[in-house]
Homo-oligomer: A and B are copies of this chain.
């Protein structure tokens, strides 16, 4: 196990009706003039935004609201948010939505406290201060409600880039699984795929002797394997929604990844897909993650066999563990297909002829990535090719 720091100070406020308490928590964490950030009309139509506003009013908190955050959230809205927050002297950002809304809110929060262009932080600069952020989560997926991460797309050139800092960890996150019940099956499955990918990016490691984090990773993955099909079959299943929602947070506070080298190449490779095609991040991961597994599993067959047996219940082939490793990847693809996810370029709406452009955008040049297996540009092209043609 490697040395590590683990710090997850967010207060999670979980369960039915908890959005009605959000004003109390804004107050507890020092907010008095709030910028509410939200996405499309669903937060308005469902009455959620009204309930949030009522809770703020009840606690004597002033607010401004900015809507229109889109999936793969853009820098343009971040600049608007920064302007409003500065002009009105706001002291707290309240995200009401999913990962895109939360990531936008975090970007606004660092931007307000920085004299230069907020994009500097998405180009390598480390943030040390930000306005406090709270969240009311409506999609179980990105884990942004418990992480210090944010991913934003720059419209000029459609560059999708991320930043991370403890200063961006939300003060509190309200998590009511009921709010996810209206989510269409496709988006629910995208979220579940993202959650599983957050674990796999940490699970495949070269660090030895990390039994506790291995087991915690597997705990989240087994939960997703059990609960996701239930929720696809029965969208109103509160209990399955609740298990998925909490699993999504546990998957990404980094509790399951401390003390070990991590990978994150699948996320990087996927980001180019969702930047180019504006597809859902989770759908892109469903295509890329198993293709990455096909490409790298020989690097450590026993680790893939462990995943196959412990997570997907595959029988261990002690004479030929590679059979088990391959069976595990197949089981993952079948699971993804079963919950309605694409597993190849055609199903995703991507084009094989774009692969050179995707690799070029990844920007690796003659270098190599880090992680479980260090990849070259040629390796990445090969992973896109496997993804293009994958079948069950």
Contacts and interface: CB of A to CB of B under 8 A. Distances in A.
Interface stretch (A64-72, A95-103, A123-131, A208-216): A208-216
Interface string A201-227: 000000011111101101110110011
A255 to B, nearest CB: 7
Interface in A153-212: 208-212
Interface stretch (A45-53, A239-247, A266-274, A334-342): A239-247
Contact of A212 (B4, B215, B219): B219
Interface in A1-23: 1-16, 18
A8 B254 CA distance: 13
Interface in A227-278: 227, 239-240, 242-243, 246-247, 250, 255, 258-259
Given A1-B243, A212-B247, A215-B220, A9 B12 contact: no
A214 to B, nearest CB: 8
Nearest to A166: B11
A255 B250 contact: yes
A246 B14 contact: no
Copies of this polypeptide in the complex: 2
Contact of A209 (B4, B13, B239, B247): B239
A142 B12 CA distance: 24
Given A212-B243, A219-B212, A12 B5 contact: yes
A246 B215 contact: no
A259 B239 contact: no
Contacts of A11: 5-7, 9
A242 B219 contact: no
Interface of A: 1-16, 18, 208-213, 215-216, 218-220, 222-223, 226-227, 239-240, 242-243, 246-247, 250, 255, 258-259
Given A5-B13, A212-B246, A215-B223, 18 more contacts: A1-B15, A1-B242, A1-B243, A2-B15, A3-B16, A5-B11, A5-B12, A5-B14, A208-B239, A209-B239, A211-B243, A212-B219, A212-B247, A212-B250, A215-B218, A216-B216, A218-B219, A219-B219
